[in-house]
Homo-oligomer: A and B are copies of this chain.
Amino acid sequence: MRDDLAFAVWSRERQQRIEDVLDRALAGAPGTALVEAMRYATLGGGKRIRPLLAYAAGEFALADPALVDAPAASVEMIHAYSLVHDDLPCMDDDTLRRGKPTCHVQHGEAMALLAGDALQATAFAVLGRARLADTGRACALLAEAAGVAGMAGGQAVDLAATGCSLTLAELESMHRRKTGALIAAAVELGAMCGGPLAGAERQSLRDYASAAGLAFQVVDDVLDAEGTSDTLGKTPGKDAASMKPTYVSLLGIAEARRHAEVLRTEAHAALARYGTRGRRLVELADWIVLRQH
């Protein structure tokens, strides 16, 4: 119980911290329509799961939390831009996000497109100026997670798969790119802020991120099938309505939940030997799987 409380405090503190970091990173030229749209899409909402993973991985690598701010913010900006573009009429055509009208509903389609574009650019501006040993490599890692081999590539597969049936392996491969790659980047960039890790430690983090990232998506599918817009803050039941293959459509809700539990166990196992160094990452895996929205 005390442990749960400690995690709640830890995560709340870091959620507030990343909110401040993002607020400062997006403070330039306030009042202009573009910056307002970028701030609307990024601030004041979201679980901040990727920044939390970056901070937790930073703790694993004994990093100064202040160094993690920039990578954590850059990953969250990539995530925020992807939601803005995902919601556009030519993609998911969604009107509700984080309990508010989506960015294009609020700011118009053209400005939402530009806000997403500028958020992606700002992510690399922030990361490129970070105080890391190798910011060029950090930028490349984030870019690869966001690009063809990662998020954008996974979304393109998702687009092509709508209305089709995928095997479980194909579904998993798509999600490893669409959401897993950016989650893995959050963990890797956070860890890069600390002292150099041994090869085995880096591999453990990768194993952890791989399981936690996939678990996140499995649970997302379950919540989409079970949820209401009140609990989700976004339109529920969209996957089924749009004929998208999901873990629920392939496995059913109960089996999908069991699958998420297996992945949670894998995430724990990857870090079992590291004791308290991996504590926040382990707790985040629990949160990812046990969350209600």
Tell me the smallest distance from the CB of A82 to a CB of chain B, in Å: 8
Check B153–A32 contact: CB distance below 8 A. yes
1/0 contact trace for A104-132 toward B, CB 8 Å?
A: 00000111011011101111110111101
Q: Provide the bound-state CA to CA distance between A132 and B141, in Å.
A: 17
Q: How far is the CA of A152 from the CA of B124 in the complex (A)?
A: 14
Question: Could you say which residues of chain B place their CB within 8 Å of the CB of A100?
Answer: none
Contact yes or no, B148 A38, CB < 8 A? yes
Q: Which residues of B contact A159 (CB under 8 A)?
A: 33, 110-111, 114
Pick the residue among B110, B130, B134, B139 that contacts A90 (CB under 8 A): B110
Task: State A148–B32 Cα separation when bound (angstroms).
Answer: 10
- Counted per complex, copies of this chain come to 2
Which applies to chain A's interface (DSSP): helix, strand, loop or mixed?
helix
Task: Return A136 CB to nearest CB of chain B, in Å.
Answer: 2
How many chain-A residues does the 8 Å CB contact rule pick out?
Answer: 56
Interface residue? A102 (CB, 8 A): no
Within 8 A of B (CB), among A68-120: 81-82, 85, 88-91, 109-111, 113-114, 116-118, 120
Chain B residues whose C-beta falls within 8 Å of the C-beta of A146 in the assembled complex: 117-118, 121
A residues touching B (Cβ–Cβ < 8 Å)? Answer: 28-29, 32-35, 38, 81-82, 85, 88-91, 109-111, 113-114, 116-118, 120-125, 127-130, 132, 134-144, 146-153, 155-156, 159-160
User: Can you list 7 pairs linking A and B with CB atoms under 8 Å apart?
Assistant: A34-B156, A82-B117, A118-B153, A120-B121, A124-B140, A125-B147, A129-B136
